[in-house]
Structure 1
Amino acid sequence: MGRLVSKRWWAGTAVVAAIGVVAGLVWFKPWALWVDETVNEALPSATGTAAGTATGTATATATATAPTSAPAPPMTTTPTGPVTVARGSLISHEHTTTGAVRMVRLADGTYTLRLEGLDTSNGPALRVWLSDAPVKEGRAGWHVFDDGRYVDLGRLKGNRGNQNYPLPADVDWSAYTSVSIWCDRFDVSFGAARIDRV
């Protein structure tokens, strides 16, 4: 009888241990550290529909009112391409991280955060955060980004490459001073950059 109880106890313990191991693997996803995901996106460009319509109308009016022998006067136009308004360089925190960060104003007035030449480790629940926290070197900077205000721009698309993260229309990017590749699973920064106006 004692042996039967002992066998059942060991069998139950083994099942619980196996469930614990599987749950731990699902939670930590250690294999992600050895799997690279490269995403290369082009910098967004404006469609130019509204600007094209306005330019066409202005050109037609100028041509109609100008003398036929004189050329049309030059027109003042707003930039039609992306403009970098702030930039920074990523530093390593919990994982070795390199690359550049740019805040880009598009021709339609919207803003996009762009990661260029990103190279970091893969991991579970990696997010891109725009934050008001200071960027600190070493372990002192690993956990500061959830202490103040931040905007979650979405899941990190890949741990390598060039990627775009559009800002919500109601977000004033100038109220934030840093960007973090944030592991939401373990509340730690893989790498971060201070962004400065240009």
Structure 2
Amino acid sequence: MQRQVILASTSRYRRELMNRLHLPFEVQAPEVDETPLEGEAPRALAERLALEKARAVARRFPEAVVIGSDQVADLAGEPLGKPGDHARASAQLRRMRGQTLIFQTAVAVVCQANSFEQRDLAPVRVVFRDLSDAAIERYLVAEQPYDCAGSAKSEGLGIALLEAIDSDDPTALVGLPLIRTARMLRAAGVDLL
């Protein structure tokens, strides 16, 4: 009998990505404080939060296989979170123009019943174009990416902001590295095919 699979996330982007696996799953809010710890590097923050999210939901559903994920935009070691509004998104994109960022995308899979726990990181190198203020404004009005780390949606018009994307897990930039997720689900005993 296959265990219940739960995505520990309220992100519609992660839910859409999970649907690609054609695997029945439920969604549960992890209710984890996402505040960075003092001096915490973006990579460490993403890894910690992915694992904390999976563990938080696994405590409530110990028989389930739980997936947690987190993404932090890393600008020269500084974590950039979700902007939340137009003014912050505009400020983020102005800082990022002409820069190379690493989107630190972490995923963790936890099942308390069999003491399974794995996590992995799928860093994505993203080069932003040297954008004008007018281009930034037009983009923000068109897409309103206020719920995305780094204020840009590469799966939409945000692709026009970029010079290059370098990743070995193509869905990592959207928020859930499916190659790594599938690998960990198989290791946890979930049959994907």
TM-score calculated relative to the size of structure 2: 0.22
Task: Flag the structure with higher helix content.
Answer: 2
TM-score calculated relative to the size of structure 1: 0.22
